[in-house]
Structure 1
Amino acid sequence: MPPKKIKRLPAADVEAIFAAFEHANPEPKGELDYTNSFTLLVAVVLSAQATDAGVNKATPKLFALAPTPEKMVELGVAGIEECIKTIGLYRTKAKNVFALSQALIAKHDSQVPQTREELEELPGVGRKTANVVLNIAFRQPTIAVDTHLFRVGNRTGLASGKTPLEVEQSLLKVVPDKYLLHAHHWLILHGRYVCKARKPECWRCIIREWCRFEPKTPAPNKPLPKAVSPSRP
């Protein structure tokens, strides 16, 4: 079912929201562990349909053994599988990591490319993965729309869309340029820890005064209003 259409926020409210995010967290960071642009790319590929925490538990051994495309190819599919078998879909992901490492060696002189088009040609790399790598590794002002950001964009009124691409394109139009570099991190972290899917924690949300979501979720264990005693005749 497509997300419920919510009236888009005016430009002044969008500015206020991102100013609040910046004040609270001036330099937001992604939560995947990596050591270089190659290991970042691999970590993001592995994070599809998996949690960052789960990926971070599996990658220290993998990256110690294979911090470069050449070392990853030497490790082989079976060796990659052994390192990441705690991650969902690990067999398919191991094949993709092996194949993208081969492609980086053959086509890109073992370097991670810096364009979305070239990144999306690599096995296991889609638009969201490419945007994450471009943003974090190369500081390009891209917006990677995951399930959290998709929800926050639609729920708040920042960016309505039936698909991740629609939300991405909408955000690129409304987010002021000065906030674009960090916008997707702010929104993803907000969706992950505050604006949760089942029960958003509106009582501690720093953007609640501008957010269109209703009804706002009250704080847990909030005292109920006193019952009014029935009047006696």
Structure 2
Amino acid sequence: MFRRRTLLSSVLRVGFLSILVSAWAGSQRQQVVAQAQSKQQATLIEGVSAPAQFRIDIEGETESGRFGPLPAVLEIMLPQAGDSNPLLVALSMTAQTEAELVNGSIFWQSFTAGHPNQTEHFSQVTISDGQVHLHLHPSDDTLRSDVMWFTQITGTLAEAMLASDDSIRSGAVPTAGTLTFTVNGNQVSGEMQLTGVTDLGVSSTYQARFNGQRQ
């Protein structure tokens, strides 16, 4: 029975993790878009310059333990068609291979134009006194594509999965979350707070701070 449950869990996890890997691949394409935008003349939106791109380091903790610093990119872009937010914000890891995605790796995009769930999978972006706030729009969808992160399975389940040559990396999607950051000249600093559930149905938490410099 345990073997059957493990097999079913593995099948579900493959599908879930494939979404996470797709998000990583999509983030690589998004960075190309951001680089193209960065050649445009910057626009000042409520005190925040866009487009802009920052190399950041993320440090924090999930239910699996502490992580970081992990290298990532924070992009501030002009909104896409259909996006009612004043800015489009995207945070992605700089990992060059899928194997480099570890506990604490995270992807967050405030809006994705043309996505079939673009009216549900998004974050509300507000700007106050030069500080940018992202508030996750609630969704009952267990396969969100706009925000997701990696944790690591621990304990006896991890031991069993390792014995079966299965990955102990686990993906998580949020049920609630916020991202806040401030740009000061060429510097950026911020924090993230998220709660959610993993692909194994386990509650997950994500708390992190980041800082970095404009590219």
* Fold similarity call, TM over 0.5: no
User: When you count strand as a share of all residues, which structure comes out higher?
Assistant: 2
Q: Where on the TM-score scale, by shorter chain, does this alignment land: which range?
A: under 0.3
So what's the TM-score if we normalise by structure 2? 0.28
So what's the TM-score if we normalise by structure 1? 0.26
- Max Rg structure: 1
